[in-house]
Amino acid sequence: MGVSQRKIMVHDLEIGMFVSDLDRPWHQTPFPIQGFYIRSQSDIRALHSHCKWVKVDVAEARQKVDQEEGNVRLFSQRASGRGNGRNELKLPPLSIREPVSHQVTVPLRKEIKASRELLDDGEAALQKVFNAIRSAKAPDLRPVADLTRKMVASVVRQPSALLWLSRTRHYDDFLYQHALNTAVWALVCGRQLGLNEGLLNHLAMGCLLSQVGKTALPKDLVEREQQLSAEEYAQYRSYIERGAALLENSGLSRAVMTVVQNHRERHNGSGFPQGLKGDRIPLLAKVAGIAEFFESLITPRETRDSLTPAKAVSMLYEMRNIEFQDDLVEAFIKAIGVYPTGSLVELSDGQRGIVISHSPERRLWPSVMVMQDAGRQSRKTAKIIDLASYNESKSGEAMLSVRECLPHGTEGLDPAGYDVTGAESRWSLGKLLSR
């Protein structure tokens, strides 16, 4: 973030400015992230209803053009020709029929312990399916269906557990990792939307099978998704139709198939394979699309660097009503947090650690397992700071917050090396978590 800030009255704001601070705490407003670009008069009106003045970051405003020509365009430059990648489309507010209010019923510690083998089983199940398809055999989808039910049940009970597990384990194959993690992100979002367990099962199953078509493509082509020529990209895009054809006679529900077929469609018509837009894209496919896109941003690849989860959240927020419906973007951010579970962070006092959970009501104040002190020395024993609880009776400089989200691979902060099963370890969540 830039360092050149100036105070400005809300009625003097202009489109293109970057709002970096408010005249009240961010968590007292409906804005899901801290800091955003003003894209329309509706953004100004929303700010006017909550604030008299704000601070704008002059440096960030200058960088907006560069961002649109750089990172943001990187993921939208493959438009189908039906949209230019930046067209906005506004729909009426999203309405979920008979939404379910899912409640957390299991402590995080207990759910992590119960689900610690779930993703291992998931990778094995997907491996069997993908190998069968590669060998031109009819896949047995029963293990995937069983996996789906277990994942849904876990996320309904405690959404942070699978997020933690998916972010702290190593996978043998990128496709399995991508499919599994996409399913987890999608389920957490679907839970936030109030989808019932039946719909959540369809959503997860569709996400798990969404990458099947890539088994028919050269491995190199899949790995270089963002560095393909126009001809190569045309071949890459065919994985959607290939996947749908491979699964056509597998007995899958229509709802599952819509996720497989439409998860790369985009809200403004810039996606593929059909260039569908708006309400023509099924709801479950929209959720899967957001989840798949987010996972692609934060996953390190040999061909490109990944974004930190916080930067990915910010990019996603900038794409609301462009590539993704705004209601769903905001639901996704509320569900995963500004600093999602598994994010590496540095606190305002210099301590470093990993986010283990968050509350939608306190989206900027997650619970952090601190592993390095302010001098970046590893602690002999880890400690957990619930920023929301810590800041309850504090104000001003005494409050503790997240200073920045750190990139994957930050020295001394490898999540895969931390014990989360409850075993005897100085990093054991079993000894640290009480909820």
Ranges of each domain in the chain: 5-69, 108-336, 344-432
Position 433 scores a pLDDT of: 52
Distance, in Å, from the CA atom of 282 to the CA atom of 379, rounded to the nearest integer, reads 48
Position 423 scores a pLDDT of: 37
pLDDT digits (tens, 9 = 90+) for 106-119: 998 899 989 989 99
Average pLDDT score, the chain: 85
Locate 278 and state its tokens: 């708006």
What is the biggest distance separating any 2 CA atoms in the chain, rounded to whole angstroms? 65
Mean pLDDT along residues 424-435: 46
Distance, in Å, from the CA atom of 250 to the CA atom of 256, rounded to the nearest integer, reads 11
pLDDT digits (tens, 9 = 90+) for 80-90: 333 334 678 98
pTM: 0.84
Distance, in Å, from the CA atom of 371 to the CA atom of 344, rounded to the nearest integer, reads 10
* Confidence grade of residue 41 (pLDDT, cut at 50, 70, 90): confident
Single-letter code of the amino acid located at 336: I
Q: What size, in residues, is the chain? A: 435
* Confidence grade of residue 59 (pLDDT, cut at 50, 70, 90): low
Distances 38 to 19, 75, 180 between C-alpha atoms, Å: 7, 21, 34
Q: How would you label 391-421 residue by residue, b for 16+ Cβ within 10 Å and e otherwise?
A: beeeeeeeebebebbbbbebeebebeebbbe
Percent of the chain with pLDDT over 90: 55
The answer to which of 4-18, 54-68, 175-189, 241-255 has the lowest mean pLDDT is 54-68
pLDDT digits (tens, 9 = 90+) for 269-296: 999 999 999 999 999 999 999 999 999 9
Per CATH, the homologous superfamily of domain 108-336 is Hypothetical protein af1432 (1.10.3210.10)
pLDDT digits (tens, 9 = 90+) for 227-270: 889 999 999 999 999 999 999 989 999 999 999 999 999 999 99
Q: Which residues contact 74 (CB under 8 A, 6 or more apart)?
A: 226
> Is 424 within 8 Å of 384 (Cβ atoms)?
no
Position 176 scores a pLDDT of: 92
* Confidence grade of residue 15 (pLDDT, cut at 50, 70, 90): confident
Long-range contacts of 186-189 (CB under 8 A, 24+ apart): 186/287, 186/288, 186/290, 186/291, 186/292, 187/151, 187/152, 187/155, 187/159, 187/162, 188/155, 188/159, 188/162, 188/163, 188/335, 188/336, 189/287, 189/290, 189/291, 189/328, 189/331, 189/332, 189/335, 189/336
